[in-house]
């Protein structure tokens, strides 16, 4: 009798293999063995997504499986998170509801899936204000269960890993918001390896040429780095083995994005970055010996062999960072005359550095419960949520500001420690103590010396806050606070004061209308508000109270006139369109329909008969040859930005559906404005040589030249007209060869 053999399609085999890999990851963790519920969640999700394909062509269920594997293997989370990851798209993409999930599984999984569904449009919101509000929802959800944001980060990581199948415009949008929000959030939560991968993948799609260039440079210098490492490690290995330590020593190369970022911020070439690689020593603790003491024993062994650089010691073993990071960092002079950074960690510290607090579970007793361990995560971003009514992009920037910061430790007069972000001021410290102390703050004593509110604090400072009952928060305070808590408290008071002043202004407007014999109804007040160019009545009332607007006597005449022109003028202003004189007709011109753009291929930037099919962004002023992208404004025009422009970063994150990938056509007959910055040693005739080189050798028109010399050194800015980036590069090479010129580079102005 023939046995029946089950025939499995290639897709089914792929799904089966990936699910088995997920189970293996889970069984190798310390979590309770709840394989049945994971299998149940997989079968449910597989059936719900049956027949649906991703853009890459593979079955859709491969995405939830990949997210679940990231959650398990790379974040160390347990069965609740794995089930939620498998089910994270079911409610959004199929007919099933959160109630169905609750009935099939439990309240906790249903709550997490519901949180993920609610924020699914969040960072992808079409308008900036909607986006900010959705991101706030994300953070609020996170405060009730951190797993929502962890699974969301895992979801984004898999999307970035498979971004190659997307259209270029979509790639820019997703890469931009990843760099803007997800990478810093992963950093703040201690997910270092995920943060690094998100940055590198974003950079790969935003700046493919630079990415490729740095990758090739790293490959070309790999052999020399290996030789350097071997020379350094040989005597140290011997010393640590003599101490009886169980350890591994390896070289860690700086990420491609970090290298590029340092090249940009420091204005240096790849060859000038001395910390491209660091040495990491990871040890197994000895029974009965404190990890911290072992770190310092290894430190002592290193400094017996190599000369240390004292200003580069970082002790995060005694006092870990807020995101859980622990390590001892030092920099020494290697045997080949190069500075080498060394990071000393135990295996536990290394796991926490790579995976965040989740790695703690690995060092607990076997079969830990996931839920009891998650409380450690919840204190990181809650202060940002205290803001009652955040303004959209300001709110996002505040979050971003707080996510990126490293910490300083400051003491109260009684010796209590407060942790603040790097760059925090005395006023930030006042608000960290209590909002009433912040509101009444008039100054501070730092280390017993009187300082202003704006004084930046350093680690180890002892701070005493001085207050006065008559003090009130001022608008300029927003210029010198860095923490979200202080900003939100000041904002709240200012908004309250503004509302009170607006009420006084409203009374003045109503009285003025009554005096003119006009009914003070909403319609009349609205017309008056628009006439003076305000979109909101409250802003109009506030300006009246502050005497920025003086109400005329002839209010009847103003309200009798047609307000169409004034209204149209305001609408155009609000849309950011340059004002044009309106025709004499009282009817506003009809706005033409925006042209349609084919996003499946790059938009070609052309110049024909002195007319361009695009507008150059004034913030970054790209020229042909720059990595650029297009943004469709409200007038239907394509505004071209450099891809690295901060404004473009916000546009990608907030208005992704308006982003176009672009390519430059030949622009040899067109001219573009660019600014060069030149620095060097001041000497007779240097200015003459510079102008002669630019004007005569390159036949370029100089628009503006500003040179300043001080103490034997000069700095200059030259604004010129060029055809493309190639012109700039040739000019920089020629100028840099001039004697006494030390650096030449293009800058945004």
3-state secondary structure of 425: strand
Residue 366 to residue 29: CA distance in whole angstroms: 9
122 in Cβ contact with 135 (< 8 Å): yes
3-state helix, strand, coil in the chain (%, to 5): 50, 15, 35
The neighbouring-strand residues paired with 708 are: 715
**Displacement of CA 694 from its chain's centroid (Å):** 39
Residue 163 to residue 165: CA distance in whole angstroms: 5
Q: Nearest to residue 101, comparing CAs of 122, 118, 86? A: 86
Residue 130 to residue 385: CA distance in whole angstroms: 16
Q: Nearest to residue 283, comparing CAs of 247, 319, 242, 330? A: 247
Alpha helix (H) ranges present in 471-606? 484-515, 522-531, 537-545, 555-560, 564-574
Query: CA dist 387 to 382, 384, 390, 472, 486, Å?
Result: 10, 6, 6, 18, 10
For 187, the enclosing helix (H) or strand (E) is helix 183-188
3-state secondary structure of 264: helix
Residue 486 to residue 480: CA distance in whole angstroms: 10
For 625, the enclosing helix (H) or strand (E) is none
Active-site entry in 93, 369, 538, 677 = 93
Residue 266 to residue 426: CA distance in whole angstroms: 29
For 454, the enclosing helix (H) or strand (E) is none
212 in Cβ contact with 231 (< 8 Å): no
Q: Nearest to residue 397, comparing CAs of 136, 130, 180? A: 180
Angle at which helix 192-206 crosses helix 256-266, to 10 degrees, equals 70
Query: Is beta strand 615-616 parallel, antiparallel or unpaired with respect to 659-664?
Result: unpaired
The neighbouring-strand residues paired with 608 are: 611
Identify whether 389 is a catalytic site residue: no
Q: Nearest to residue 438, comparing CAs of 424, 448, 428, 447? A: 428
Active-site entry in 12, 17, 92, 272 = 92
Q: Nearest to residue 502, comparing CAs of 530, 553, 540? A: 540
Phi-psi region of 101 (alpha: psi -120 to 50; beta: other; left: phi over 0): alpha
Query: Is beta strand 328-333 parallel, antiparallel or unpaired with respect to 314-315?
Result: antiparallel
Angle value at C-alpha 493, between 492 and 496, nearest 5 degrees: 85
Residue 658 to residue 636: CA distance in whole angstroms: 10
Dihedral of alpha carbons 220, 222, 227, 228, sign: positive
- Which residues touch 175 (CB under 8 Å, ≥6 apart)? 160, 163, 201, 202, 203, 205, 206, 652
Residue 199 to residue 183: CA distance in whole angstroms: 6
Identify whether 12 is a catalytic site residue: no
Rg of the Cα trace of the chain?
31
428 in Cβ contact with 487 (< 8 Å): no
* Burial per residue of 662-701, b for 16 or more beta-carbon CB atoms within 10 angstroms, e otherwise: bebeebeebbbebbbebebebeeebbeebeebbeeeeebe
Active site residue ranges: 92-93
């Amino acid at each position: 009798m023939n046995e029946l053999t089950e025939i499995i399609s290639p897709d089914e085999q792929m799904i089966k293999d990936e699910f088995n890999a997920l189970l293996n990851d889970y069984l190798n963790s310390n979590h309770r063995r709840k394989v049945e519920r994971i299998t149940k969640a997989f079968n449910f999700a597989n059936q719900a997504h049956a027949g649906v394909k991703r853009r890459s062509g593979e079955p859709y269920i491969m995405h939830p499986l990949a997210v679940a594997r990231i959650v398990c293997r790379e974040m160390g989370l347990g069965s609740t998170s794995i089930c939620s990851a498998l089910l994270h798209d079911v409610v959004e993409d199929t007919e099933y509801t959160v109630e169905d999930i609750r009935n099939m599984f439990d309240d906790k999984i249903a709550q997490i899936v519901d949180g993920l569904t609610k924020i699914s449009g969040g960072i992808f919101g079409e308008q900036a204000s909607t986006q900010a509000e959705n991101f706030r929802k994300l953070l609020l959800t996170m405060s009730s269960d951190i797993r929502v944001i962890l699974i969301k980060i895992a979801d984004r990581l898999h999307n970035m890993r498979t971004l190659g199948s997307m259209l270029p415009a979509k790639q820019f949008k997703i890469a931009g918001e990843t760099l803007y929000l997800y990478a810093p959030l992963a950093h703040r939560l201690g997910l270092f390896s995920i943060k690094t991968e998100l940055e590198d993948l974003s950079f790969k799609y935003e700046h493919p040429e630079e990415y490729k260039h740095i990758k090739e440079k790293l490959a070309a210098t790999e052999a020399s780095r290996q030789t350097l490492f071997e020379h350094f490690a040989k005597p140290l290995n011997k010393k640590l083995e003599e101490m009886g330590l169980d350890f591994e020593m390896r070289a860690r190369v700086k990420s491609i994005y970090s290298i590029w970022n340092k090249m940009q911020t420091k204005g240096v070439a790849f060859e000038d970055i001395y910390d491209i690689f660091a040495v990491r020593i990871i040890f197994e603790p000895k029974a009965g010996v404190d990890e911290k003491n072992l770190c310092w024993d290894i430190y002592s062994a290193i400094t017996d062999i190599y000369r240390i650089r004292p200003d580069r010691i970082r002790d995060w073993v005694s006092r870990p960072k807020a995101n859980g990071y622990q390590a001892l960092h030092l920099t020494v002079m290697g045997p080949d005359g190069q500075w080498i950074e060394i990071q000393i960690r135990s295996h536990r510290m290394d796991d926490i550095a790579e995976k965040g607090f989740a790695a703690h579970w690995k060092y607990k007793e076997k079969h830990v419960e996931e839920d009891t361990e998650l409380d450690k995560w919840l204190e990181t971003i809650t202060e940002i949520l205290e803001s009652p009514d955040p303004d959209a992009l300001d709110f996002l920037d505040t979050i971003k500001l707080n996510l990126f910061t490293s910490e300083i430790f400051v003491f109260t007069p009684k010796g209590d420690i407060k942790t603040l972000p790097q760059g925090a001021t005395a006023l930030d410290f006042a608000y960290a103590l209590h909002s009433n102390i912040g509101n009444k703050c008039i100054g501070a004593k730092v280390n017993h010396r009187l300082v202003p509110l704006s004084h930046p604090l350093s680690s180890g400072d002892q701070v005493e806050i001085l207050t006065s009952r008559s003090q009130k928060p001022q608008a300029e305070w927003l210029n010198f606070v860095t923490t979200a808590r202080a900003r939100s408290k000041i904002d709240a008071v200012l908004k309250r004061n503004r509302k009170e002043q607006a009420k006084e202004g409203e009374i003045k407007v109503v009285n003025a209308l009554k005096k003119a014999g006009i009914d003070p109804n909403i319609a009349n007040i609205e017309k008056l508000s628009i006439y003076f160019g305000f979109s909101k009545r409250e802003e109009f009332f506030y300006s009246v109270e502050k005497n920025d607007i003086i109400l005329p006597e002839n209010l009847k005449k103003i309200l009798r006139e047609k307000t169409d022109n004034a209204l149209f003028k305001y609408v155009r202003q609000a849309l950011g369109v340059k004002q044009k004189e309106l025709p004499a007709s009282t009817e506003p011109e009809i706005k033409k329909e925006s042209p349609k753009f084919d996003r499946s291929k790059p938009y070609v930037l052309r110049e024909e008969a002195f007319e361009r099919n695009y507008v150059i962004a004034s913030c970054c002023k790209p020229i042909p040859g720059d990595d650029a992208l297009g943004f469709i404004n409200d007038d239907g025009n394509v505004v071209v930005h450099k891809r690295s422009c901060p404004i473009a970063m916000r546009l990608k994150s907030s208005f992704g559906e308006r982003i176009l990938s672009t390519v430059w056509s030949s622009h040899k007959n067109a001219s573009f404005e660019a600014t060069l910055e030149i620095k060097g040693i001041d000497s007779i005739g240097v200015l003459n040589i510079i102008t002669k080189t630019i004007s005569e050798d390159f036949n370029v028109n100089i628009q503006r030249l500003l040179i300043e010399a001080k103490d034997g050194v000069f700095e200059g800015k030259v604004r010129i007209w060029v055809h493309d980036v190639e012109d700039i590069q040739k000019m920089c090479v020629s100028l840099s060869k001039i004697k006494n010129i030390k650096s030449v580079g293009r800058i945004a102005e």
